[in-house]
Structure 1
Amino acid sequence: MPSKEYRVEGLSCPDCSAKFEKNVKELPEVTDAKVSFSVGKISVVGDVSIEEIEKAGAFEKLRIIDESVVKTNNEDIKRNKIIENWPLIVSLILIISAFIYQSFYGETAPVTIGLYVTAILIGGFSLFKEGITDLLKLNFSMQALMTIAIIGASIIGQWSEGSIVVILFAVSEALEKFSMDKARQSIRSLMDIAPKEALVIRDGVEELIHVNEIKVNDIMIIKPGQKIAMDGVIVTGRSSVNQAAITGESVPIEKKVDDEVFAGTLNEEGLLEVKVTKLVTDSTIAKIIHLVEEAQDERAPAQAFVDKFAKYYTPAIMLIALLVVVIPPLFFNGDWNTWLYQGLSLLVVGCPCSLVISTPVSIVSAISNAAKNGVLIKGGIYLEEVGGLQAIAFDKTGTLTEGEPAVTDYISVNTSKESDNFMKIAALESYSQHPLASAILKELSHKKLSIDHINIDNFTSITGKGVQADIDGVTYLIGSSKLFNTELNQSESLKAQYELLQKEGKTAMIFGTSTEILAIIAVADKLRETSQSVITQLHQAGIKHTIMLTGDNQHTAQAIGQEVGVTDIKGDLMPQDKLDYIKSLKNDYLKVAMIGDGVNDAPALAAASVGISMGGTGTDTALETADIALMGDDLEKLPFLIRLSRKTLSIIKQNITLSLVLKLLALLLIIPGWLTLWLAIVADMGATIFVTLNGLRLMKIK
């Protein structure tokens, strides 16, 4: 039986998540269940209703939503939340009434005590139910700690403080739920970017159809100003399309017939007809959301440490609290009530809420922010690794360069025949299979020239040198200097120009006849406009070692590497050589990143501490082979990624440090007897609010 996914609203802590999963697994019709705390989802295998799943999560008042069904009205959600929180509202009214009555008749008045007791019972009913169940199972959860504290406070007559603990704990949990739901909503909002309906032509009739019913090869009509509902290929029209939803880049991209477009992107100008190429569940944006949600569920090293620490921390707090209660009265003639009160206060402040939520909220916020900015991080572990990078290796082609050869220089000996010579060069290259031929034909189009009137005869490829053919009875050649050794040596000027082009890392070709040189043309893979500034930013950020890896000869590699500004240049490399180099680099530098296109450098990407692929948009290979994908094919996202990673590590350290320091201060306050129950719960709630809000700050990093 296939599993079904539901969204879960209200999960506030990993312990609650584990308990909810256990409860669902115990349902009779369920064969398996898996809860993702970070994402806020549950996957269930079995024939079970939403109502039954909600009953399993009743202890946390969880709300289960089937996302395949039409969304619930927001007003209904607000009304449901008010109904869910009625015990808290009633308790608050009772406590306020008790405070007012106490100011006139004292704390020991029967009515005052009655109001406090009623407030504790109503507001803390679900808390006590779970806390007592956990205690009977020797599961020292947060609910168990609070239950002991409130019951203990009631036993020694601290009714007002016991009731305040009930209210403040409920408020604290509500804030945790709100913060985690907000962090989860950040990535979930991507789901709403693509329209739920599209205008489709079927049997010559235009119909507005839900995306779930649209099939591959259907033709969609996209009007100016509309968002594209499905991935597809343009069959009619041209326009500029804003792809910010996918790539994080707000500058519109020109699109024409046969170009790919993606769900969630905005058609800004022209009318487009688009043939659907992927179902809604397989779209690029759906894939991004799925991978991000998987990434959020991957435990980062810091989170694994906190979870392991919390496992021993809570029983240790209970043991210390017991010692605080017992040792002073037994050995130092202390008052039992006083030290019982101090022990209960320690239980409250020792609650690990802020500690266990400190890492997940930060990781979820950072990964969501990265996805919205066109950087797909496939796990918290990679987010942390980037923060400690010491060296970054770049594949040249398609990473530091644009990946498409282009004509950079054209020198015609006779300027009056400049266009005529270029058309002849293009005519020869139109018969060639050489990769550089496409660059010359593209330049022909840019120059708005045509070769339709040129007839080629006796075309021959000269291995390792170039090509030759007859045009109007004259034999023309184009290729390396080996074809024109004599002619080149006769002209110092042409020879100097040819050698200069080669030194600049360009592929220079000579065009002429068997007796004279007519032109020199140079082709090169152009550097990205951002490459130099990105390398400079990385050096300024403390990345000391940047390396360019390429299969080009060392001479060409040196010219490009020096222009871009990397600290080391390695040429003449095969894929295996790149892999070996990355392995040796890891011996010198603990953490190394490799950035490439994810195809021929996949082994090197896998061997690096972090593999980062370029151009993830629409390419499954880039998404699958790397740990991180720069979706917009934009190197400038790299400095942003490093800033985000370092800030994430900094905030996680701040959160963990604050949580632990607060617990230590609480222990110190016990010695003079200054720790009170209300102070303990306010301190714990304050720490929880701080770590969640601190973690949410990562959504704002640019």
Structure 2
Amino acid sequence: MNMDKTYRTAEHESDDYQSNTHEHAGHLPGEIPMYFIGVVAYLLALFGPFSTLVSNFLFGVAVVLAGFHVIIEGIVETITDTKEKNKFHPNVHLLMTLAVLGAMAIGSFDESALLILIFAGAHFLEEFAEGKSQKEITNLLQMNPTQARLLQSDGSTKMVNVQEVNVGDQLKVLPGDQIATDGFIIKGHTTIDESSINGESMPKEKLEEEEVFASTINGQGTFVMQVTKDSSETVFADILRLVEQSRNNLPKAATKIKKIEPIYVKSVLFIVPVFVLIMPVLFNWSWEMSIYRGIVLLITASPCALAVSAVPATLSAISNLAKKGILFKGGAYLANLSSIKAVAFDKTGTLTKGKPVVTDSFYKDKAKQIKWQQIIATMEESANHPLATAILEEYGELQSLEMDVTNEIGQGIVAEYEGKHYRIGKPSLFDNVSDDIQAKTKEFASAGKTVIYFSEDEEAVALIALMDKADEKAAEAIAYLKKQQVNTLMITGDAKTTGEAVAHALGIDDVYSNVLPENKAEAITSLQNKYGKTAMIGDGINDAPALVKADIGFAMGDGTDVAIDVADAVIMQNDLLKFEYAYKLSKKLDKIIWQNIIFAMGVVLLLSVLNIVGKMDIGLGVLAHEGSTLLVLFNGLRLLFPLKKKAPENV
């Protein structure tokens, strides 16, 4: 799979976000020790038996030591960003720096120190809280295999770096080992924990010739595998690229907040001086009171909580989904999922199990039924058509017979047994068909089933009906979407009767049948015009154009590389309940982001009003302001926790 699609605009916005928001990427040398020395200086000034001059000096020391990183980021980054963008580009830290200097200028040394202590302390807590939202992603990165047991020509093994393993090499895997790269078992059998790939907690049994994947954990068996992919091309490596990519593609809410942040800060820097100048005229305040209230306004109007309203919540949701085996190529796609109006599904392998089964059979002579079934099973053992496996699963336990079987291209399978001639094939190959078999054929075909005949001496004496059965999990997911007023549709190349039969079994609203691969994208356009924002879920090469055309394209993880490459999200297991889970989490993400935005701006408005009416001071303003920022962060971090299995529909 090639999942190195880039989103340059989103990446640019993300880089901008990381360099300029209230949070910063790393710590300056000695930053945290300096902060605690500043705390000690503040406590000595507050409670020590010192003169006012000494106390104010200690308060000043506290400001410099505890707020060093805030002041540096406020001044230096504003200058740097202004030069890069050729226009004034302030940040939130500049507001805090000016507020601290202003408080000291009017003699409020104790309050200026309190301001910087609480702001800087909350700053560290915010970084810690946001780090929590990326913990699962970090854990995922740490799961990348580093070593492998390379099998030598003499049968011994050698521990090598996984980068030294080449396609075609043979590796020995012992109980409890992490599988180093993708391949298939050539000797032995075991059970493997594949939760790092598909989010499923139940181990899967693996036999010879079956695929195994990098990063998964071997159970109690020992086996030898042959390498089929370089370590940089494994499924797990693709997952890591997807997750990393998702961190760089921010939702619209986050990018809009980032874009308006410098405008907001500039507005505050304009309003505060105007506020200081007009309040003595309007309310007859003293200049000292007006300046003090202006500094309080500078603090309370800072958009810290607004700046962290969207990104921590989005990263938390992405890491939650990654644990479930649902990978988004960007937070923007996850955020948009909640607003879809229609979902289009491919049929085979998405809504159905992708594996036909025998659903019905009819035999003209019940006395010969067992014998005919033995003949059918023996003939199908040499067949190469996809329905043979289903028939053998139905009759394969019957004893095989000794007979000559021939596959005749275009004529089905023929055989001779005990002097009689037998044939298995599609109905159009048979001329001698009784009315009862024709009636059964019509009945089964109208239900979307595939019918094949079995003849003895060119007379059709039995028929078998097969169907790719609908997936029960798909039915549950579709029922949920319908309750959310999301339209559900199937786009399939199958005949109308086949498509409608599956749609009816699953409760799908509408079916687009007989759709050629090149026309699937046109079908998506039609749905977008009719309903609005549309998601597409598919797994085949023929789904790729539709996945690209859809507002959000989902590829099923068992599908083709092309479908996975062009999709906006990947469900690592063919399980539509995972799509339901992603939709629920997207709805919750949307709700939490708006909660955060409304709460953040509500707090700014409330504190500003209280400041005007004289019910706010610097200390209380700092506590309320930074407290609201932390509440917004922790509200977003709720998305780290799994949703309940039967989560409320209106999450």
2:423 to 474, 477, 482: 477
Within 2, Cα distance between the matches of 1:331 and 1:541? 53
Task: Provide the secondary structure at the position in 2 that maps to 1:397.
Answer: coil
Residue in 2 aligned with 1:521? Answer: 464
SS in 2 for 1:665: helix
Can you list the C-alpha shifts for 1:539-585, whole angstroms capped at 9, x where unaligned?
22332x21122222112222221111111123222123332222111
Of residues 149, 153, 156, the one that matches 2:99 is 149
Specify the alignment match of 1:502 in structure 2: 445
Please report how far the alpha carbon of residue 334 of structure 1 lies from its aligned counterpart in structure 2 after TM superposition.
2.4
The answer to whether the 8 Å contact 2:42/2:59 transfers is yes
**Distance (whole Å) between structure 1 residues aligned to residue 234 and residue 569 of structure 2:** 19
- Deviation by residue 1:473-492 (Cα, 9 ceiling, x = unmatched): 43222234444554422xx3
Equivalent position of 1:366 in the other structure = 317
1:92 paired with 2:39, answer yes
Residue 663 of structure 1: which of 601, 604, 612 is its match? 604
The amino acid across from 1:527 in the alignment is A
2:192 to 235, 241, 245: 241
For residue 252 of structure 1, the aligned residue among 165, 182, 203 is 203
Conservation of the 8 A alpha-carbon contact between 2:28 and 2:69:
no
| 1:500, distance to aligned residue in structure 2 (A) | 3.1
Q: Distance in 2 between matches of 1:701 and 1:231?
A: 29
1:592 equivalent among 526, 530, 534: 534
Aligned to 1:488: 434
Counterpart in the other structure of 2:627:
686
Cα-to-partner distance string for 1:594-648 (whole Å, 9 max, x where unaligned) = 111141111111111111111258x532321211111111111011011010011
* 1:515/1:88 CA distance change after superposition, 3 Å: closer
* CA shift digits 1:22-69 (9 cap, x unpaired): xxxxxxxxxxxxxxx99x7xxxxxxxxxxxxxxxx6xx428xxxxxxx
**Contact kept? 2:344, 2:536, Cα under 8 Å:** yes
- Deviation at residue 498 of structure 1 after TM alignment: 3.5
Change (3 A) 1:350 1:521: same
* TM alignment of 1:222-301, pairs within 5 A: 222-301=173-252
2:7 maps to none
User: In the alignment, is the contact (CA less than 8 A) between 1:468 and 1:476 conserved in 2?
Assistant: yes
Q: Which residue of 2 aligns with 1:165?
A: 115
Task: Output aligned runs, 1:81-160, within 5 Å.
Answer: 84-101=31-48, 109-133=52-76, 138-160=88-110
Question: In 2, are the aligned partners of 1:194 and 1:264 still within 8 Å (CA)?
Answer: yes
Unmatched runs of 5 consecutive residues or more in structure 1: 1-12, 21-36, 41-56, 63-82
Quick one: distance in 2 between partners of 1:304 and 1:387? 18
3-state DSSP class of the match of 1:398? coil
Please give the per-residue CA displacement for 1:460-513, whole angstroms capped at 9, x wherever unaligned: 4456xx554544543222234444554422xx3x44443333233211112112
Q: Give the superposition deviation at 1:381.
A: 2.0
Kept in 1, the 8 Å contact 2:314–2:589? The answer is yes
Amino acid at match of 1:164: L
Instruction: Please give the per-residue CA displacement for 1:107-160, whole angstroms capped at 9, x wherever unaligned.
Output: x72232222122122222333344344566654222211111111111111111
Distance 1:410 1:331 in 2: 92
Q: 1:268 to 1:483 in 2, by over 3 A?
A: same
Deviates more, 1:223-232 or 1:429-438: 429-438
Q: Is it true that 1:379 corresponds to 2:326 in the alignment?
A: no
| Mapping of residues 670-681 of structure 1, within 5 Å | 670-681=611-622
Distance (Å, rounded) in 2 between the aligned partners of 1:616 and 1:84 = 49
Q: Decide whether the 8 Å contact of 2:119 with 2:626 is kept in 1.
A: yes
Structure 1 residues 516 and 125, CA, compared in 2 at 3 Å: closer, same or farther? closer
Judge which range, 425-434 or 377-386, deviates more.
425-434
2:488 to 520, 530, 546: 546
- Structure 1 stretches (4+) deviating beyond 6 angstroms? 13-16
**Aligned match of 1:569 in 495, 501, 511?**
511
Q: d(CA) in 2 for partners of 1:374 and 1:132?
A: 43
Given residue 535 of structure 1, which amino acid in structure 2 is its aligned partner? I
- Relative to structure 1, is the Cα distance of residues 593 and 15 closer, same or farther in structure 2, using a 3 angstrom cutoff? closer
Change (3 A) 1:621 1:481: closer
Deviations 1:391-424 (A, max 9, x none): 1111111111111223333444445644542343
Q: 1:665 to 1:395 in 2, by over 3 A?
A: same
Structure 1 SS opposite 2:541: coil
Offset of residue 700 of structure 1: 0.9
Map 1:298-309 → 2, pairs under 5 A = 298-309=249-260
Secondary structure of residue in 2 paired with 1:298: coil
Cα deviation for residue 523 of structure 1 reads 1.9
**Aligned equivalent of 2:146, options 185, 188, 196:** 196
Is 1:536 equivalent to 2:536 in the alignment? no
The code of the aligned residue for 2:617 comes to T
Q: Distance in 2 between matches of 1:281 and 1:577?
A: 35
SS at match of 2:542: coil
The aligned amino acid for 1:121 is V
Matches within 5 A, 1:392-411: 392-411=343-362
Aligned amino acid, residue 366 of structure 1: A
Say whether the 8 Å CA contact 1:232–1:278 is kept in structure 2.
yes
Q: Distance in 1 between matches of 2:297 and 2:234?
A: 52
In the alignment, residue 113 of structure 2 is paired with which amino acid?
A: S
SS in 1 for 2:308: helix
Change (3 A) 1:520 1:129: closer
1:321–1:449 Cα change, 3 Å: farther
Change (3 A) 1:139 1:627: closer
Further displaced range: 640-649 or 508-517: 508-517
- When residues 139 and 593 of structure 1 are mapped into structure 2, their CA distance, relative to the original with a 3 A threshold, is closer
**What is the match of residue 33 of structure 1?**
none
SS of the aligned residue for 1:297 comes to coil
Q: Is the 8 A contact 1:238 1:272 kept in 2?
A: yes
Alignment correspondent of 1:644: 585
Q: Is the contact made by 2:20 and 2:77 (CA closer than 8 Å) also made in structure 1?
A: no
Q: 1:409 to 1:242 in 2, by over 3 A?
A: farther
Count residues with an aligned counterpart.
621
Using the alignment, how far apart are the partners of 1:594 and 1:225 within structure 2?
A: 39
| Residue 16 to residue 388, structure 1, CA distance change in 2 (3 Å) | closer
Higher relative contact order (CA 8 A, sep 6+): 2
CA shift for structure 1 position 668: 0.9
- Give me the whole-angstrom Cα distance separating, in 2, the residues matched to 1:532 and 1:139: 52
Equivalent-residue separation in structure 2 for 1:141 and 1:468 (angstroms): 80
Please tell me whether the aligned partners of residues 598 and 605 of structure 1 are also in contact (alpha carbons under 8 angstroms): no
How far apart, CA to CA, are the structure 2 residues paired with 1:422 and 1:622?
40
Instruction: Report if the CA contact (8 A) 1:194-1:227 is conserved.
Output: no
Residue of structure 1 in register with 2:10 after alignment: none
Q: 1:558 to 1:169 in 2, by over 3 A?
A: same
Code of the aligned partner of 2:197: I
SS at structure 1 position matched to 2:434: helix
1:631 to 1:622, Cα distance in 2 relative to 1, 3 A: farther
Task: Provide TM-score, normalisation by structure 1.
Answer: 0.82
Q: How does 1:349-360 map to 2 (within 5 A)?
A: 349-360=300-311
Q: Secondary structure at the residue paired with 2:241?
A: helix
Give, in angstroms, the shift of residue 313 of structure 1.
0.5
**Unmatched tracts of structure 2, length 5 or more:** 1-13, 83-87, 644-651
Matched with 1:436 is 387
- DSSP-derived class of the 1:530 partner: helix
